[in-house]
Amino acid sequence: MELSKKALSISPSSTLAIDAKAKKMKADGIDIIGFGAGEPDFDTPEHIKAAAIKAINDGFTKYTPASGTLELKQAICNKFKKDNGLDYKPANIVISNGAKHSLVNAFQAILNPGDEVIIPAPFWVSYPEMVKIADGVPVILNSTEEEGFKFSVDKLEKAITAKTKAIVINSPSNPTGMIYTEDELRAIADLAVSKEIFIVSDEIYEKLIYDGYKHISIASFNDKIKDLTIIVNGVSKSYSMTGWRIGYTASNEKIATIMGNVQSHATSNPNSIAQKAAQAGLEGPEDVMNMMVAEFAKRRDYMVERINSIDGISCINPNGAFYVMMNISKIIGKEFAGVKINGSDDFANVLLEKANVALVPGSGFGTDIHVRLSYATSLENIKEGLNRIENFLNK
């Protein structure tokens, strides 16, 4: 029997696939160094866990409103006011099962069949597939390492057609760690307002910023761009809560209502206990987070310096998130351990099989001359992993 053509066209998440493969090899007793999926290696802070345990003991274990509890929505509004200078009401907020789910809801809410969504490359692997799931058409806007992995507004303007419905902005970026400056964001916002195009602004790495950079939400410039923007955020990265699955959006009320309606049929509410835990994270002390950021910055410095000291590979300095895009263009076409490297998939495979290092091929991010390394792992692992890469390349 014929299956859904749309579902058949969706490729699996390469980040999750690598992570699953590396975790399986580890469980089989193989000593793997994992630079794969981006998830903080720190434990979820104690006060957050305590809030979840309390929620269970208090019997907070039933359905909540489908788009989330009023108190968590209020905590999210307070966060937007404090961190981003944005005024939202609970009616603007939808809480979902992770930011991934929030993004899927956002595209479902704004796209009609054939609508185009501009996605700057390198992009996070899930964006094009999410757009396709919502019957949209991903339009990829390339940028090079020499351009700092940023697109110019001129280039963006040329990519806009009568069918353009939305632009994805992900700053700080997964996978490049790039951050847009205020001027760059203002230029994008002005263009979006003049052409009436939505912005889907994925700000999940907003707290993971180094080198004195500051996160600015594109929605904060004026009411017009605020009305056109769906901000996506969540607690996975900033509070080391990847498994708890809480993400959220802020948008105009109309969009929030229809996202909530879709969610009410697809999943109902996100986990009640995880909502209490997320609230404790948002309302709690930030010292744990500051410690994480300081540690990530140290790891990044080491990784960047080390990669650039190894013959054949290089990288630019990422200012946010916890990823490094390693340039492997000098390796492509060469043979290592008896295997010819034709692109990033070959490199990732051979490195996993022969050197027991897991990283994510750039192919899924829209660039085949890079691989992505996550530095959300201990400095000790980073040193060992890079030793292995160096030894492998020297063979």
**Site residues, ligand PMP (CB under 6 A):** 38, 98-100, 124, 170, 174, 202, 204, 234, 236, 242, 247
Nearest approach in angstroms of CB 126 to ligand GLU is 6
**Which of the ranges 9-17, 155-163, 217-225, 309-317 carries the binding residues for ligand GLU, by CB under 6 A?**
9-17
Q: Which is nearer to ligand PMP, 38 or 355 (CB)?
A: 38
Q: 274-289 in b/e burial notation, b at 16+ Cβ within 10 A?
A: bbbbbbbbbebeeebb
**Which of the ranges 31-39, 69-77, 107-115, 127-135 carries the binding residues for ligand GLU, by CB under 6 A?**
31-39
Nearest approach in angstroms of CB 124 to ligand GLU is 6
Q: Which is nearer to ligand PMP, 204 or 393 (CB)?
A: 204
For residue 13, the partner it binds in ligand PMP, ligand GLU, none, with Cβ less than 5 to 8 A by kind, is ligand GLU
Residue 216 CA to its chain's centroid (Å): 16
For residue 247, the partner it binds in ligand GLU, ligand PMP, none, with Cβ less than 5 to 8 A by kind, is ligand PMP
A 10 A CB-CB count for 90 gives 18
Positive or negative: CA dihedral 36, 39, 42, 44? negative
Q: Which is nearer to ligand GLU, 90 or 247 (CB)?
A: 247
Under the criterion CB under 6 A, does residue 37 sit at the interface with ligand GLU? Answer: yes
- 97-116 positions binding ligand GLU, by CB under 6 A: 100
**Which of the ranges 10-18, 214-222, 265-273, 290-298 carries the binding residues for ligand GLU, by CB under 6 A?**
10-18
**Which of the ranges 8-16, 49-57, 102-110, 225-233 carries the binding residues for ligand GLU, by CB under 6 A?**
8-16
Q: Which is nearer to ligand PMP, 90 or 98 (CB)?
A: 98
Nearest approach in angstroms of CB 13 to ligand GLU is 5
Under the criterion CB under 6 A, does residue 303 sit at the interface with ligand GLU? Answer: no
Interface with ligand GLU by CB under 6 A: which residues? 13, 15-16, 37-39, 100, 124, 126, 174
